[in-house]
């Protein structure tokens, strides 16, 4: 994009001139590329998902002409069934990024600051700036773990990614309950984008805590990043705030294809479970292989790992991998600039990564 001059920016709303937008991981068009940079699932979604998308067009000539269900009821029902909650506990949105945006607007625009860790999903500061949310950033400890006691101070809300990104480390439900108990008057959001790869979900706590919102996505464990379906689970008084925000912004965020495909995914639980087990097994194998060649890998409960090689600069390593057609995520940020975030691929893809490191880069 060409540079926009200050003169041209005079047309922009003043607040938009100051925005620092989120920068998504690259989606480059390079041949024979091994893309291990955006935590997509290496396996396709359930075949039933593809059939459901095709059926949308085949079954109704009006599928494109008419608006979809503004409430996406079929999808909410499928999620409620799979998550063992009532339909009234479910909110859906165009990717969990949109659900998170509505969460920031619905709960976090308060007098007191929202608390979140210094190293976490990099969209939180972006939404905070966008919605004018005050923030207080709390450092993870030296092992990149959350210090639960830090979350026992006055606040306007709390958001914790579990397992955390990009560190991959998970926080147990005991610690999450401690945070919930200590903050009965503010909303605690647990962003569980990666929970299906080995962490325990806080959805089981929703009935007990009237201040808990759990956010999940179909992008990772259901291989549907291209579909854009995310959801939140909470008690109905919190869901009502999210619906109010959604219906003040876009009443039809879920198109017909997204609804049909995600329903099919939630109904095919055995495919989902088998596929996640494969990713977890591949992760363990990759960690062992990387340990063997000198990497330190943080304990992962996600579909990615966070790894450093003491003998080599992480930025250089990312660049050398890239020259060989392998893309991993490198964050040039304080505390984590000697780590690489590597998405778990198929066993074959992981082997290509290990072989490239072992036989080409680190020789």
Ligand X SMILES: Cc1ncc(COP(=O)(O)O)c(C=O)c1O
Binding mask 163-182 for ligand X (x = CB under 6 A): --x-----------------
CB-nearer residue toward ligand X: 165 or 298: 165
- Candidates 46, 96, 282, 301; binder of ligand X (CB under 6 A) is 96
At 288, which helix (H) or strand (E)? Answer: helix 269-292
- 6 CB contacts (<8 Å, ≥6 apart)? none
Q: With CB under 6 A as the contact rule, which of the stretches 14-22, 94-102, 168-176, 241-249 interacts with ligand X?
A: 94-102
The number of helices, as runs of H, and strands, as runs of E, in the chain is: 11, 12
Q: With CB under 6 A as the contact rule, which of the stretches 51-59, 150-158, 217-225, 343-351 interacts with ligand X?
A: 217-225
The β-bridge partners of 307 are 297, 340
- Candidates 40, 97, 255, 268; binder of ligand X (CB under 6 A) is 97
Contact 116, 202 (CB under 8 A): no
Length of the chain, in residues: 363
Q: Is the bond leading into 166 cis (omega within 30 degrees of zero)? A: yes
DSSP 215-273: EEESSSTTS-TTT--EEEEE-HHHHHHHHHHHTTT-S--S-HHHHHHHHHHHH-HHHHH
Alpha helices (runs of H) in 60-147, residue ranges in sequence order: 73-83, 95-107, 123-131
Q: CB 258 → ligand X: shortest distance, Å?
A: 12
Binding mask 220-239 for ligand X (x = CB under 6 A): -----x----x---------
- Candidates 35, 36, 39, 199; binder of ligand X (CB under 6 A) is 39
CB-nearer residue toward ligand X: 113 or 253: 253
Q: With CB under 6 A as the contact rule, which of the stretches 69-77, 89-97, 251-259, 285-293 interacts with ligand X?
A: 89-97
- Candidates 217, 221, 223, 303; binder of ligand X (CB under 6 A) is 217
User: How many residues sit close enough to ligand X to count as binding (CB under 6 A)?
Assistant: 13
Q: What single-letter DSSP state applies at residue 359? A: I
Residue numbers at the binding site for ligand X (CB under 6 A): 39, 95-97, 121, 161, 165, 191, 193, 217, 219, 225, 230
């Amino acid at each position: 994009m060409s540079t926009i001059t200050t003169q041209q920016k005079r047309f922009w709303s003043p607040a938009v001139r100051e925005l620092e937008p989120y920068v998504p991981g690259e989606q480059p068009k390079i041949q024979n590329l091994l893309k291990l940079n955006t935590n997509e699932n290496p396996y396709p979604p359930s075949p039933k998902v593809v059939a459901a998308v095709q059926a949308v067009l085949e079954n109704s000539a009006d599928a494109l002409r008419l608006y979809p269900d503004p409430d996406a009821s079929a999808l909410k029902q499928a999620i409620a069934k799979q998550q063992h909650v009532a339909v009234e506990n479910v909110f859906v949105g165009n990717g969990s990024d949109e659900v998170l945006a509505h969460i920031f607007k619905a709960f976090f625009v308060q007098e007191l600051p929202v608390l979140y860790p210094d190293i976490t999903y990099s969209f939180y500061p972006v939404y905070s700036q966008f919605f004018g949310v005050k923030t207080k950033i709390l450092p993870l400890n030296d092992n990149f773990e959350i210090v639960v006691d830090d979350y026992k101070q006055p606040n306007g809300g709390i958001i914790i990614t579990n397992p955390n990104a990009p560190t991959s480390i998970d926080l147990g439900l005991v610690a999450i309950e401690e945070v919930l108990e200590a903050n009965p008057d503010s909303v605690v959001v647990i962003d569980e984008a990666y929970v299906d790869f080995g962490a325990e979900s806080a959805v089981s706590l929703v009935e007990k805590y009237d201040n808990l919102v759990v956010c999940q996505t179909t992008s990772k464990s259901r291989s549907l990043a291209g579909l854009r379906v995310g959801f939140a689970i909470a008690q109905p008084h919190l869901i009502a705030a999210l619906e109010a925000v959604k219906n003040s912004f876009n009443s039809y965020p879920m198109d017909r294809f997204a609804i049909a495909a995600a329903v099919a995914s939630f109904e095919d639980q055995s495919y989902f479970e088998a596929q996640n087990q494969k990713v977890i097994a591949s992760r363990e194998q990759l960690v062992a292989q990387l340990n063997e060649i000198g990497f330190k890998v943080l304990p992962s409960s996600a579909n990615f790992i966070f790894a450093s090689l003491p003998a080599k600069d992480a930025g250089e390593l990312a660049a050398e991998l890239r020259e060989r057609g392998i893309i991993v995520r490198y964050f040039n940020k304080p505390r984590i600039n000697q780590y690489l975030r590597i998405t778990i691929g198929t066993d074959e893809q992981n082997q290509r990564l290990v072989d490239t490191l072992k036989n080409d880069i680190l020789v």
